[in-house]
Amino acid sequence: MMAGTLRSTVMVAAAFAVAGCVSLAPPHKLPAAPVAAEWPVVVGTPGDVPADQVGELRWDQFHADARLRDLITRALTNNRSLRATALAVESARAQLGLARADQWPTLVASVSQAAQGSAGQVTRASAAELGISAFEIDLFGRLRNERESALEGVFGAEETLRSARISLVAEVATAYVTLLADQQRLRLSDETFASQQKSLDLTLRTFAVGTSSGLDVAQSRTSVETARADMATYRTQMSRDLNALELLVGEPLDAAAFDTNGGQAGDALLAVSQAIGAPAKLSSQLLQRRPDVLAAERDLRAADINIGAARASRFPSISLTTSAGRTSSELSDLFKGAAHTWSFLPSISLPLFDGGAGKARVRSAEVARDAALVAYEQSIQTAFQEVADALAQRRDIDELLAARQALVAATERSYTLTQARYRAGVDSSLALLDAQRSLVAARQNLISARLVEATNLITLYRVLGGGWQ
The 10s digit of each residue's pLDDT in 267-290 is: 567 667 666 665 556 777 778 888
Q: Could you tell me the pLDDT band of residue 305, with boundaries at 50, 70 and 90?
A: very high
The pLDDT assigned to 2 comes to 45
The pLDDT assigned to 299 comes to 95
The pLDDT assigned to 468 comes to 47
The pLDDT assigned to 53 comes to 66
Mean pLDDT, the chain, rounded, equals 82
pLDDT digits (tens, 9 = 90+) for 151-200: 999 999 999 999 999 999 999 999 999 999 999 999 999 988 988 888 88
Q: Could you tell me the pLDDT band of residue 103, with boundaries at 50, 70 and 90?
A: confident
Q: Return the higher-pLDDT residue of 216 and 340.
A: 216
Residue 342: pLDDT over 80 = no
pLDDT digits (tens, 9 = 90+) for 441-451: 999 999 999 99
Averaged pLDDT, 10-18: 49
| Cβ neighbourhood burial of 206 (10 Å; 0-12, 13-18, 19+) | middle
Q: Return the higher-pLDDT residue of 367 and 58.
A: 367
Please tell me the least confidently modeled range out of 64-68, 143-147, 314-318, 342-346. 342-346
The pLDDT assigned to 62 comes to 82
Residue 78: pLDDT over 90 = yes
Domain definitions of the chain by residue range: 30-106+142-315+365-463
pLDDT digits (tens, 9 = 90+) for 188-206: 999 889 888 888 888 788 7
Q: Could you tell me the pLDDT band of residue 80, with boundaries at 50, 70 and 90?
A: very high
Label each residue of the chain as H, E or C.
CHHHHHHHHHHHHHHHHHHCCCCCCCCCCCCCCCCCCECCCCCCECCCEEHHHHHHCCHHHHECCHHHHHHHHHHHHHCHHHHHHHHHHHHHHHHHHHHHHCCCCCEEEEEEEEEEEECCEEEEEEEEEEEEEEEEECCCCHHHHHHHHHHHHHHHHHHHHHHHHHHHHHHHHHHHHHHHHHHHHHHHHHHHHHHHHHHHHHHHHHHHCCCCCHHHHHHHHHHHHHHHHHHHHHHHHHHHHHHHHHHHHCCCCCHHHHCHHHCCCCCHHHHCECCEEECCCCEHHHHHHCHHHHHHHHHHHHHHHHHHHHHHCCCCEEEEEEEEEEEECCHHHCCCCCEEEEEEEEEEECCCCCCCHHHHHHHHHHHHHHHHHHHHHHHHHHHHHHHHHHHHHHHHHHHHHHHHHHHHHHHHHHHHHHHHHHHCCCCCHHHHHHHHHHHHHHHHHHHHHHHHHHHHHHHHHHHCCCCCC
- Nearest to 58, CA basis, from 320, 274, 210, 255: 274
Burial 324-338 (b: 16+ CB within 10 A, else e): bbbbbeebeebeeeb
The pLDDT assigned to 270 comes to 64
Q: Could you tell me the pLDDT band of residue 1, with boundaries at 50, 70 and 90?
A: very low
pLDDT digits (tens, 9 = 90+) for 453-469: 889 888 988 888 875 44
Residue 124: pLDDT over 80 = no
Specify the pTM.
0.82
The pLDDT assigned to 6 comes to 47
**Sign of the four-CA dihedral 125, 126, 130, 136:** positive
At the topology level of CATH, where does 30-106+142-315+365-463 sit? Outer membrane efflux proteins (OEP) (1.20.1600)
The pLDDT assigned to 336 comes to 60
The pLDDT assigned to 174 comes to 94
The pLDDT assigned to 293 comes to 93
The pLDDT assigned to 265 comes to 47
Q: Return the higher-pLDDT residue of 338 and 451.
A: 451
The pLDDT assigned to 236 comes to 94
Q: Could you tell me the pLDDT band of residue 255, with boundaries at 50, 70 and 90?
A: confident
